[in-house]
Structure 1
Amino acid sequence: MVNLTTQLKDRLQSIISEAVESKRTPGLVFGVATLDGEQFFAHAGDRVFGEPSAGPIGEDSVMWICSQTKMLASIATFQLVEAGKLRLDDVAAKYLPELANPVVLDKDPQLKQPSFRQPQTEITVRHLLNHSSGLDYGHKDRICEYHLPTVYTTAHEKLDPVRRFYELRRGLYPTQLLKFEPGTSFAYSYGPDSLGFIIERITGQSLEEYYKEHIFSPLGITSASFYLTPNLKQKSVPLVFRESDGKIVPWASQVPIIVQDPEQVHLHMSGVGLYCSMKDYLTILQHLLQIRAGTAVNPILSKASLDTFFQPTLTPLGVEELNDWSGKRGHQYSTALALWTVDEPGRRRKGSAGWYGWANTEYFIDPETGVALVFGSQIVPRQDPEVMKVFEQLEEAFYRGLEA
């Protein structure tokens, strides 16, 4: 049984407090849950950077969780599979004609011009789940590598926004370009967004409606939404920006982001679009831990479906591409999450699964230890070195405290 001593809790809180008080980071939150529920939730700093009068960051503070939205698309997809409304090997174009007849872009270094060919395999739902579809993000429409793709930062039309989404992705080409043959490799992608659109077309509900009815409400989650409503905005943590000299400054649209005016949100993007408190996100992770252990009450997924979240799916080439992209060894990818195939020394154990968000939020589930951890801030660029350092310190202190 996981036991967080008072000494360990004090140590974790001191790490967060020191980082904020030294002005190395903006406000931070950190939470731990086990099968028995939330065990610890710490926070430090102002909700609005540099404005103490706006109140402190806290348990109910809402963050733009960006790519942490992706896991919800996997949960919902498997719910539809369990309901008999969808199969993992269904061709995606059956539900999304926008994905019909793509072409693989082959870049031969010996040729000045790229070549195109018809793929031998059609994109399936399974490919969308593990980023093996070839629908990569790419970098051709970004000023720098940490910018979000234009597809995400564009104000989408109210009339047929899904069509416009794929038009933006394909650019001047007549059809969708794939980085590789579907199912053969890995490239971080629009797979979860595509799954979200499929879910909407099968159910006749918006993702906002579906997620609320089938994921959030059953778990008592109230802060999660694709709309930054006035109520949520009062609790939200505004972004800040770290300049090249290391100084943290208030947000001034230094880089384009998604449309945040709820009146202008006409497309629910399950790759990047959700707002949620990290405490509520921890509730989801704790529920998944319970499903895996067979102790969940009214589980939102079967154990068989959830088990796939912890099982590797990539080809050897896909593993190589994932590890090159992440800059780390020992990673795989499941139907929902990145997997750790080896122990992270002094930190999460082999078999852990998790992901992160572009604005510096992160989470993982460690089934062997029986814990789920969340960590959050709201700072751009992504993977802020100071914020990441604090999370590493917290994780190391947490596991060291368990072993003491």
Structure 2
Amino acid sequence: MPSFEEIVHSLRHPDGESSQPLPRVTLGAVNKDGSFYYAKAFGEESDESLATDGVHFIASSTKFVTTVAVMQCVERGQLNLDADISDILPEWKNPQILTGFDEQDRPTFQAATKAITLRHLLTHSSGLDWAGAMVERVTSMRLGEYMKRYIFDVVSVHDATFHLEEREDLRERMVNQWERVGQELKIGKCPAADPVTDDLGGGGLYSTVTELLKIYHGVLSEKFLSRETIDLMFQPHLVNIPGLQNQDDYSISYRNAIYNAIPPSTPVSFGLGGLINLSPIPNRRSENSLSWSGMSNCYWWIDSKKGIAGVYLSQLVPTGDQQAIKLLTAFEKFVYMNIL
């Protein structure tokens, strides 16, 4: 049986040494009791450092960290999952629904008949950026400041920020950005704006594999939230889900970005902060595990039942790369084989 490193090499170089379908990737996993810890970068040392503290723009993988912040505010009674968000965000007092476009290509709207709630936001229905804004309104803190005090400092995370312009030490450790053009890889640009004015809870963080593992372990070990709240997050909350049940309804890129390594036969819904698989995946994650992705082929999963979390970070666009999903799947199998 080939070693995991050999499997990684074969997936990164499926056509031999002359081809490089996957650039640098950093993988990490941890379990709740701390008996298993894995963090390793794979790539070409001639191109860049393979240290595991390489900094990545994690894009929509930010959403889960924002959800942890939101649920802390829910536990304190500062926010309510089912209240109208306009109680906190008055700009959403009378939401309008886009219904189409007229003959002059102007948008047409109709008034919403139901209020938008925080639960809607956390099930990726209406925008996690606004959920982050709600944290800012009720705490009178910038979202990044809140995360530092109540999440990052709790588990000794130092390398996480919305503002790269304020952390030149992190900018110096940014890994290369890549773009796939056919089967060729070309050096690209980071898709994030830099500098930024807002702390975007839906997709603005920069961090590393090792720092994200601290956060995911903090969730598993109940350092941020009560067990009752964690159990609530890892339950299905989306009422109407017919559009999620057929992966073939999406292009390969969007399918992989949404479902990542979840097989097409596995039913899904949304928990609070990510997609959940409603049945177990053999030799891998339990039912009701949370997962999501980030634009540059960043992926994570948290298995609350088995106490396992994993993360895959790269800086490759377009999103939802098929070869990346193959490697993510192989990595998840490797993790569970070595823990269970």
TM-score band, normalised by shorter chain:
0.7 to 0.9
| 2:142 is the alignment partner of 1:206 | yes
Assess if the C-alpha contact under 8 Å between 1:30 and 1:41 holds in 2: yes
Assess if the C-alpha contact under 8 Å between 1:13 and 1:42 holds in 2: no
Structure-2 separation of matches of 1:126 and 1:345: 30
Q: Equivalent residue for 2:174?
A: 236
Q: Deviations over 1:76-106 (max 9, x none)?
A: 1111122222222222112222222112234
Pair 1:392–1:119, CA change in 2 (3 A): same
- The SS at the match of 1:84 is coil
- The SS at the match of 1:235 is coil
CA RMSD of aligned residues (A): 2.5
Q: Equivalent residue for 2:255?
A: none
Q: Equivalent residue for 1:67?
A: 60
Structure-1 separation of matches of 2:204 and 2:94: 27
Structure-1 separation of matches of 2:302 and 2:189: 34
Task: Name the count of aligned residue pairs.
Answer: 314
Structure-2 separation of matches of 1:236 and 1:250: 13
Q: Equivalent residue for 2:229?
A: 305
Assess if the C-alpha contact under 8 Å between 2:29 and 2:38 holds in 1: yes
Structure 2: gaps spanning 5 or more residues? 251-257
Structure-2 separation of matches of 1:205 and 1:304: 26
Structure-2 separation of matches of 1:46 and 1:235: 16
Task: State the 1:279 CA deviation.
Answer: 1.3
Equivalent residue for 2:245, pick from 305, 323, 331: 323
Equivalent residue for 1:116, pick from 102, 109, 117: 109
Pair 1:363–1:252, CA change in 2 (3 A): closer
Task: State the 1:131 CA deviation.
Answer: 2.7
Structure 2 counterpart of 1:103, one-letter code: Q
Assess if the C-alpha contact under 8 Å between 2:150 and 2:224 holds in 1: yes
Q: Equivalent residue for 2:162?
A: 226
Q: Deviations over 1:119-171 (max 9, x none)?
A: 22111222211134xx4xxxxxxxxxxxxxxxxxxxxxxxxxxxxxxxxxxxx
Structure-1 separation of matches of 2:138 and 2:204: 20
Q: Deviations over 1:236-278 (max 9, x none)?
A: 11210000x210011157xxx2212xxx311111111000101
Structure-1 separation of matches of 2:96 and 2:149: 37
Assess if the C-alpha contact under 8 Å between 1:365 and 1:372 holds in 2: yes
Q: Equivalent residue for 1:270?
A: 201
Q: Deviations over 1:344-388 (max 9, x none)?
A: 244323222111111111111123333111111110000111222
Structure-2 separation of matches of 1:17 and 1:337: 30
Structure-1 separation of matches of 2:84 and 2:218: 31
Structure-2 separation of matches of 1:30 and 1:351: 22
Structure 1: gaps spanning 5 or more residues? 1-6, 136-189, 292-298
- The SS at the match of 1:343 is coil
| 2:279 is the alignment partner of 1:342 | yes
Assess if the C-alpha contact under 8 Å between 2:29 and 2:335 holds in 1: no
Pair 1:348–1:115, CA change in 2 (3 A): same
Q: Equivalent residue for 2:37?
A: 39
Assess if the C-alpha contact under 8 Å between 1:105 and 1:116 holds in 2: yes
Q: Equivalent residue for 2:129?
A: 193
Task: State the 1:115 CA deviation.
Answer: 5.8
| 2:7 is the alignment partner of 1:15 | yes
Pair 1:67–1:252, CA change in 2 (3 A): closer
Pair 1:290–1:252, CA change in 2 (3 A): closer
Assess if the C-alpha contact under 8 Å between 1:57 and 1:237 holds in 2: no
Task: State the 1:60 CA deviation.
Answer: 0.9
Structure-1 separation of matches of 2:28 and 2:232: 25
Q: What is the TM-score normalised by the length of structure 2?
A: 0.84
Equivalent residue for 1:355, pick from 264, 272, 292: 292
Structure-2 separation of matches of 1:231 and 1:281: 18
Assess if the C-alpha contact under 8 Å between 1:13 and 1:43 holds in 2: no
Assess if the C-alpha contact under 8 Å between 1:43 and 1:58 holds in 2: yes
Structure-1 separation of matches of 2:176 and 2:201: 21
Assess if the C-alpha contact under 8 Å between 1:89 and 1:126 holds in 2: yes
Structure 1 counterpart of 2:244, one-letter code: L
Assess if the C-alpha contact under 8 Å between 1:63 and 1:277 holds in 2: yes
Structure 2 counterpart of 1:39, one-letter code: Y
